[in-house]
Amino acid sequence: MLFNIISERRKMIDKAPANQLPSTFAVNELAKALHPGYIPARIAAIREETENVKTFTLVPASSNKVFPYFRAGQYITLSANIGESLLTRPYSLSSSPKQALEGIYEVTVKRDGLFSSWLIDQAAVGTELVLGEPGGDFYHDNLRDSNKVVAIAGGCGITPFRSMIKAVIEGSEDYQITLIYGARTRSDIIFKKELETLSDERIRIIIVLSEEKAEGYEHGFITADVLKKFAPESASFFLCGPDEMYRFVKDELKKLEITDKNIRHERNAAGNRNVDNPRVFKLKVRMRDKVYSIPARENETLTVAMERAGLNAPSRCRSGICGFCHSKLISGTYTVLKEHEYRRAADFKFGFIHPCCTYPDSDMEIDVPTV
């Protein structure tokens, strides 16, 4: 049989019609729909959640009717020209995967930093932005995670959990969620009405207020006692919030002998590092056949320096994990903070860095991929 393969194949080819092959296949179309790279979008609605937090509804600006599907918990990037700079920032999607198929993404943003403050104070209905496709690994995985999820949120860290809760209610995800949400006061609770009117036996909401005592709310912090009281046995713990919350809650989880393999946290973007009187170095940036010489402040990452100079710097997670900004170091010395050091042995051996979380310690020269 094996020896007949060639003659059989020839016979089949001879029998086949002489039609031209299709120029594209369904699988390529699907891949393009799921991974379009960048998508022009516009703001269709803005909703105020708290004094400093707004939810932005985004729709495609082109003839596309849908956005790429995603896993509840993932993020997108938003890019816009602000002044002389071209800025890109990651935001967790607070809408559900099903809404993406209806042409809707939602991001919920707190006034904090240049881009978020611009969104809150300057962006309006009709403002156009460029979205980067969904990414990140902060989502529930049946093979890895328990079907009992304890979602621990601090402040604006509630956003990916809103997406997960919606996905469970709509049926695109299948697990139980116990949301333990830390806020300062009742007026700081994001999605307050939505959370209070939720009624689904798979979802339980506990809100912990640190600066107010009120009936129906826990008071204090998300301590081992609170976790012991509300977390089900054999759960997977998902954390999203500020770094201080991660440090505190992880210590509390340790007291309950919850091991690291059952704890996952969303990574925060690298911010400025603390340096008294930061120096300004020269940064030479090679981007394909172009070379730019720009200033780089000691306390800011190389990506921020490139954005400040108006360069289209590659940027997605801004936390060192996705590898999108992976760049060749040509010369210079630098620092990467421990919590953002995700490079592999080969990166050290062959001299690669992630500019999104690299701070200059001298003049530097780097070769950056173009986007």
Task: Give the footprint of ligand FES on this chain (CB under 6 A).
Answer: 315-318, 320-325, 354, 356
Q: What share of the chain is helix, strand, coil (3-state, %, to 5)?
A: 25, 30, 40
Identity of the residue, 241 or 320, whose beta carbon is nearer to ligand FES in the bound complex: 320
What is the CB-side half-sphere exposure of residue 25 using CA atoms within 13 A? 3
> Cβ contacts of residue 270 below 8 Å, gap of 6+?
301, 318, 319, 320, 337, 340, 356, 357
Nearest approach in angstroms of CB 40 to ligand FES is 21
State in angstroms the smallest separation of the CB of 319 from ligand FES. 6
Q: Minimum Å distance from CB 289 to ligand FES? A: 23
Cβ 353 to ligand FES shortest distance, Å: 9
Compare residues 165 and 353 and give the one whose CB is closer to ligand FES: 353
Report the alpha-carbon angle 302-76-285, nearest 5: 20
With a CB cutoff of 8 Å and minimum separation 6, the contacts of 21 are none
Q: State in angstroms the smallest separation of the CB of 324 from ligand FES.
A: 4
Q: Kindly tell me which of 53 and 304 has the beta carbon lying closer to ligand FES.
A: 304
231 vs 317, beta carbon nearer ligand FES: 317
| Nearer to ligand FES among residue 108 and residue 358 (C-beta) | 358
Which residues are 40's β-sheet partners?
Answer: 130
Structure tokens at 234: 């054999």
Task: Give 276-285 contacts, CB < 8 A, sequence gap 24+.
Answer: 281/332, 281/360, 281/362, 281/363, 281/364, 282/363, 282/364, 283/360, 283/363, 283/364, 283/365, 283/366, 284/330, 284/363, 284/364, 284/365, 284/366, 285/311, 285/365, 285/366, 285/368
Residue with smaller CB distance to ligand FES, 271 or 323: 323
Tokens 């995700």 locate to 342
Return the number of the residue (80 or 304) whose C-beta is nearest ligand FES: 304
Q: How far is the CB of 320 from ligand FES (least distance, A)?
A: 5
Please report how close the Cβ of residue 145 comes to ligand FES at its closest, in angstroms: 23
Least separation, in Å, of the C-beta of 6 and ligand FES?
A: 48
- Please state, in angstroms and rounded to a whole number, the distance separating the CA atoms of residues 279 and 244: 28
Residue with tokens 């979602």: 151
> DSSP 3-state assignment of 282?
strand
What residue has token string 């190389």? 302
Nearer to ligand FES, 44 or 371 (CB): 371
